[in-house]
Structure 1
């Protein structure tokens, strides 16, 4: 699965309800900015304003950008990425791996030639001239945070169009590339809101880019991409500014607890340092991710085996940062090794 396991299928397999699954496979904040008891009341008619002015105002307040830059919203980050590549129609797309497979799937659907760079070994390697670069920061599945200014200069010299995915950047107090958008019309930023705000069922993502670029993107977009409920929910979530620092602090503490839990299990030879809401770990030489996944399933725990990430193997597994109770249950289930 591109975004973690299918908890519905998993629940059927282990004989429980979906809400009884401890889902460590999907990198979604276990906390929400809007309580289920305070869901917005939304009118079922008339049609929403197709320009989304209230949502865009809320997004602009939360994610400010310089003059000469504009924003466009989409039905999730995946839709945004597809729309950008459909508009660009690039011949060459450069992907920095390890990386989840959705980018390559979209690029291949559009007939692009996909080139890969192993960012673990040589992130600064030369890329094809005038290619389109896609880079995720912090990266997935390992959560490494990159200093972007040098990389942007490297790609600029090659004449590249650059799409930076910052869907996990909210989890750490790091600088966004949005500050550079006003001076580079070949730089675009895409972001998903579901990860940080803990609302995978609310499908909203957005693109920031130079105003002429956004105008061209909009010409290819349908009206009424978003539901009134999704917009009302996200406007309320964005208004909860206290949630930002609370989440960052909580994620950092829980990530440290999760890392210690994985280390104490004795199963892993390497736990990758992360600035995001997940940890990548490598099992010992005789370990098998599928076997560990099967054993944890008996405790209704679902994890992500990363064998389908370019450059990783069946020994690489990823754990989302969950709450303390879930981590304690994981710790108990990890004891005893891989059977």
Structure 2
């Protein structure tokens, strides 16, 4: 599924290398927790541990797992989403939109009845009883961080299966809802590691759920989903505790810098207040995000037009938080955009 623009296709069209593209389309931390040199001592001859013991220990230190809760690892958060919905086989799936397309895609494959709720306008709308609800927090593509207490109570009262996608929560000073799993065993929490730790090529995501629910999910999973290299890298990254605070401070500073650049361009009539590592903006006077993209191409800048998010159109564009120099280059390029 499309998480950002296709940087390789974009680079081929411009006749440059992918690393020469200023990629604002993909929400990946511009910093990395560890250097690839940490993989030099990894042994590739034996099979990797099929129980992922050392990686699970590292995850438990980073995200303390409550009593009665267990974890299942996947080859990225997208794989976790697909496996979970295939396992649950929901009849009614409630999607709080806008959100990215994985959920609607797999729902179509499974033949679910999909109920979209626009969280901008109808956040507290009723949901079908015993439905499966999906909520991304902080949300994408706007990055809003929600207090879910009222919604969780309403979903539980309706006996819903609840999926909370916290792929971007690490960028916020906020608590996970995983603690509530001990009190409601139909709650599942999805986490991604690649975004916060700046390693999109290391495909590791996981699900937290009640122990019995994880056992049921695990029955359908193959052994050795993760490579020894993936696990070794992520164990080192998770151990870098200083990186967590550095990233929170850096993201807040750079997000504010990006906000100022967007606001100062005069191209947008709304910039959504986000708490994650990206910002959503709406072009002024019904402007066309694809036209903006075309005008930014000479500067090798790739952005994310959000017309494939339910409830948004091509006037909505998303910008990932990048480093100071890259944001400065974006601000400079805005000056050449014809309004």
The answer to whether TM tops 0.5 is yes
Counterpart residue number, 2:181: 181
Q: 1:322 Cα shift?
A: 0.1
After the TM superposition, which residues 187-206 of structure 1 pair with which residues of structure 2 at under 5 Å, given as runs? 187-206=187-206
Determine the C-alpha separation between the residues in 2 that align with 1:284 and 1:90. 40
After the TM superposition, which residues 26-175 of structure 1 pair with which residues of structure 2 at under 5 Å, given as runs? 26-175=26-175
Pairwise CA RMSD: 1.0
Determine the C-alpha separation between the residues in 2 that align with 1:231 and 1:41. 13
Contact 1:265 1:337 in 2 (8 A): no
Determine the C-alpha separation between the residues in 2 that align with 1:320 and 1:37. 27
Contact 1:291 1:338 in 2 (8 A): no
Q: 1:110 Cα shift?
A: 1.4
TM-score, normalised to structure 2's length? Answer: 0.98
Determine the C-alpha separation between the residues in 2 that align with 1:132 and 1:338. 45
After the TM superposition, which residues 185-334 of structure 1 pair with which residues of structure 2 at under 5 Å, given as runs? 185-334=185-334
Q: 1:65 Cα shift?
A: 2.1
Equivalent residue pairs, number: 339
Other structure's SS at 1:116 match: strand
Contact 1:24 1:322 in 2 (8 A): yes
Determine the C-alpha separation between the residues in 1 that align with 2:219 and 2:200. 27
Determine the C-alpha separation between the residues in 2 that align with 1:234 and 1:100. 25
Counterpart residue number, 2:15: 15
Determine the C-alpha separation between the residues in 2 that align with 1:168 and 1:221. 25
Cα deviation, 1:265-305, whole Å, max 9, x if unaligned, reads 00000000000000000001141100001111110000000
Contact 2:296 2:337 in 1 (8 A): no
Contact 1:142 1:280 in 2 (8 A): yes
Provide closer, same or farther for how the CA distance between residues 154 and 260 of structure 1 changes in structure 2, counting only shifts above 3 A: same
Displaced runs of 4 or more, over 2 A = 36-41, 336-339
Other structure's SS at 1:196 match: coil
TM-score, normalised to structure 1's length? Answer: 0.98
Other structure's SS at 1:215 match: helix
Q: 1:49 Cα shift?
A: 1.2
